[in-house]
Structure 1
Amino acid sequence: MIPIATNQDSTLIPITIFNGSKNGKTLGITAGVHGYEYTPILAAQRLIKVIDPQKLQGVVILVQIAGLESFLGRSPYVSPVDKKNLNRSFPGNSNGTNTEKVANFISEQIIAKSNYFLDMHSGDAPEDLISYAAYYSNSKMPESSSTGKEMAIALGFDYIVNFDTDKKDYIKKSEKSLYCTAEAFKRGIPSIDIECGRLGIIEEDKINKVEQSVSNLLHHLHFLPDTKKAVTHSHTMITNRIYLSAKFDGIFYPTKKAGDFVKKGMKLGHITDYFGETIQSIYAPEEGLILMIINTPPINKDEDLVVIGKTE
């Protein structure tokens, strides 16, 4: 339990370190960067018993719940302590607020010690989300990009999203990473995400999927011995994402769900004012797969309503 304190408040970061019986590389894993995203947090609990140090080559550093105050406070997106989003706070600040100090600790004590990095997420409280893996890429960082892609594929998801950072030159130290995995990639570390679970609800098959995916990754990276022949898992690549946002505060009525394929011009939902009058209708600008769609009534101006993935 790692204590993090400011002059105003304090928190803890629960971390498990698996020291393998054989020397090797280090894999950093974070769960609960968003504390309302319960699927990876519960999967991380199971990994404590699943990962056997006697069979392990190398070290696995597992952050059980990065945003503990958000978790305990049942607070989507942001910490109830300082109202900051941990996954928009990297690389953090050692002299900052509660959330900024947590981000700094993860950056300097977890990410900096890792050869590979995985951040595990699910759909937050209002988000209907399909399950997918993702990897960071940049044309100026071909080795880290290629290894990250192989890691993402090894997880075994049906969909793989490429977070292409060419327009965000992470080689420039002046540009903040903001995201946890982006901070790892900026440091040249092959970096991947899991998105599995939706709406902050508990579904056993999703928890099992995350647990199995981490096991797949450990075998792929040779942290654990290969006990059986690798199975090739078919997948669909998503190279571009389209974000549709709200123009007004109001009440959102979706007409589609995550995982639906949509065509250009298809209606995805509408927003009403508080008296039921439609003030914005949302249509698909292009065809693609709905990766995420808000599935609870409240909506705020400029929030993302829908994310559409362009499949190859």
Structure 2
Amino acid sequence: MSTRRLDVGDGTAVAVAELTGAADGPTVAVLGGVHGDELEGILAVRRLVGTFRPVAGRVLAVAVANPPAHAASARTSPVDGGNLARAFPGRSGGTVTERIADALTRHVIAAADLLVDLHSAGRHYAMPFFAGYCEPSGAAAAHAFGAPLVWAHDRVNPGRSLAAAAAHGVAAIYVEGSGGAALRRSEVDGYTDGVLRVLGQLGVAADPPAPAPVRRVVQGGDGDVDASVSAAVAGWCVTAVTAGDVVAAGTLVAEIVDEAGRVVQPVRAPRDGIVMMLRRTAVVAPGDGIAMLGPVPQELS
């Protein structure tokens, strides 16, 4: 194993571990910590770097893709306010966040045959554990990962790592988990085992974990958390459903209450769908996301 640092200036550098097998094979890029408050991917990549050695090909592993945000335990960078997950492919002469995106795009994503970007719901939200993809080339890896839910998007939004991958002809998947600034052993194991299953499918890993069944598939939508149903007023958010629930149009998802407990805004599902993101932190301000719905899932036997 070797490690190199991508220096982007202003005292910021991104560490890239390169794990190389004895035989030729594909290159897989694995990112954690694109958002600094999403811990599952960071720990899974560190586990991978510490214990895994490929039999073929190579793995480019980045545990902390966004060092300033991780140091602040924040979704966005305290240096420039940038959201790395909206900054790809970046700019070499831009802000710190844009320079990180540029370095990752040029030196990690473009060098790979497959990108695995490990996210989670972060500090303020909850999400079901799932693997998602935007281009058909990511379908096999998303299913091999073995999360209980797969989300097949019908488009990819600009600024995402998956958009940068698509521009370079690189297959890509992303993963989300329950978040909340907590680490659950079942999910951390699921992230680690999922990456190993994908590596096994490509012949990079020998003896990967046993396959895990995908139970539900969501088809369509772009997964844009910025387009969530939002709070119109300040208050406390009292949720009425759970991430992963399937709801009908008009279902009460949450209530915003004032400090006296009076409901000041009911939040209802705008359509039938599955709750793919749900507010976790109670205190909300106007504009804070409350819930994101995906299309109704297909249940697999």
TM-score by length of 2: 0.89
Contact 1:78–1:84 (Cα < 8 Å) also in 2: yes
Deviation sequence 1:254-285 (CA, Å, 0-9, x none)? 12221222222221112235665433211122
Q: Equivalents in 2 of 1:248, 1:222: separation in Å?
A: 52
Report the 3-state secondary structure (helix = DSSP H, G, I; strand = E; otherwise coil) of the residue aligned with 1:65: coil
Q: Equivalents in 1 of 2:85, 2:260: separation in Å?
A: 35
Superposed displacement of residue 133, structure 1: 0.3
Report sequence identity in percent: 26
Unpaired runs of 5+ in structure 2?
none
Q: Indicate whether 1:150 and 2:140 are aligned.
A: yes
Contact 1:10–1:98 (Cα < 8 Å) also in 2: no
Contact 2:8–2:100 (Cα < 8 Å) also in 1: no
Deviation sequence 1:150-178 (CA, Å, 0-9, x none)? 11000011110012118x6xxxxxxxx31
Q: Indicate whether 1:44 and 2:45 are aligned.
A: yes
Q: Equivalents in 1 of 2:233, 2:153: separation in Å?
A: 28
Superposed displacement of residue 232, structure 1: 6.8
Q: Indicate whether 1:210 and 2:185 are aligned.
A: no
Q: Which residue number in structure 2 is paired with residue 140 of structure 1?
A: none
Q: Which residue number in structure 1 is paired with residue 270 of structure 2?
A: 285
Q: Equivalents in 1 of 2:56, 2:269: separation in Å?
A: 47
Deviation sequence 1:233-268 (CA, Å, 0-9, x none)? 243110135842222344322122212222222211
Q: Which residue number in structure 2 is paired with residue 115 of structure 1?
A: 113
Contact 1:39–1:197 (Cα < 8 Å) also in 2: no
Q: Equivalents in 2 of 1:84, 1:51: separation in Å?
A: 32
CA distance 1:263–1:227, change in 2 (3 Å): closer
- Following superposition, which runs of at least 4 residues in structure 1 exceed 4 angstroms of deviation? 273-277
Superposed displacement of residue 227, structure 1: 7.0
Superposed displacement of residue 197, structure 1: 3.4
Contact 1:3–1:10 (Cα < 8 Å) also in 2: no
Q: Which residue number in structure 1 is paired with residue 19 of structure 2?
A: 18
Farther off after superposition, 243-252 or 292-301: 243-252
Q: Which residue number in structure 2 is paired with residue 235 of structure 1?
A: 215
Q: Which residue number in structure 2 is paired with residue 66 of structure 1?
A: 65
1:214-229 aligned at under 5 Å gives the runs 214-225=195-206
Contact 2:6–2:103 (Cα < 8 Å) also in 1: no
Q: Equivalents in 1 of 2:192, 2:175: separation in Å?
A: 11
Superposed displacement of residue 52, structure 1: 1.4
Superposed displacement of residue 203, structure 1: 1.3
Letter in 2 for 1:206: E
Q: Indicate whether 1:182 and 2:163 are aligned.
A: yes
Q: Indicate whether 1:34 and 2:35 are aligned.
A: yes
Farther off after superposition, 211-220 or 178-187: 178-187
Report the 3-state secondary structure (helix = DSSP H, G, I; strand = E; otherwise coil) of the residue aligned with 1:222: coil
CA distance 1:148–1:291, change in 2 (3 Å): same
CA distance 1:277–1:65, change in 2 (3 Å): same
1:164-203 aligned at under 5 Å gives the runs 164-165=154-155, 177-203=158-184
CA distance 1:274–1:100, change in 2 (3 Å): farther
Q: Indicate whether 1:161 and 2:151 are aligned.
A: yes
Contact 1:31–1:119 (Cα < 8 Å) also in 2: yes
Q: Equivalents in 2 of 1:29, 1:231: separation in Å?
A: 20
Q: Equivalents in 2 of 1:21, 1:258: separation in Å?
A: 43
Contact 1:162–1:240 (Cα < 8 Å) also in 2: yes
Deviation sequence 1:173-206 (CA, Å, 0-9, x none)? xxxx311122112322111001123212111111
Report the 3-state secondary structure (helix = DSSP H, G, I; strand = E; otherwise coil) of the residue aligned with 1:206: helix
Superposed displacement of residue 27, structure 1: 0.7
Q: Equivalents in 1 of 2:211, 2:271: separation in Å?
A: 34
Contact 1:136–1:190 (Cα < 8 Å) also in 2: no
Report the 3-state secondary structure (helix = DSSP H, G, I; strand = E; otherwise coil) of the residue aligned with 1:200: coil
Report the 3-state secondary structure (helix = DSSP H, G, I; strand = E; otherwise coil) of the residue aligned with 1:74: coil
Superposed displacement of residue 71, structure 1: 1.1
Q: Equivalents in 1 of 2:218, 2:196: separation in Å?
A: 24
Q: Which residue number in structure 1 is paired with residue 5 of structure 2?
A: 2
Farther off after superposition, 26-35 or 186-195: 186-195
Report the 3-state secondary structure (helix = DSSP H, G, I; strand = E; otherwise coil) of the residue aligned with 1:104: helix
Report the 3-state secondary structure (helix = DSSP H, G, I; strand = E; otherwise coil) of the residue aligned with 2:274: strand
Letter in 2 for 1:98: V
Q: Equivalents in 2 of 1:24, 1:183: separation in Å?
A: 22
CA distance 1:233–1:3, change in 2 (3 Å): closer
Report the 3-state secondary structure (helix = DSSP H, G, I; strand = E; otherwise coil) of the residue aligned with 1:164: coil
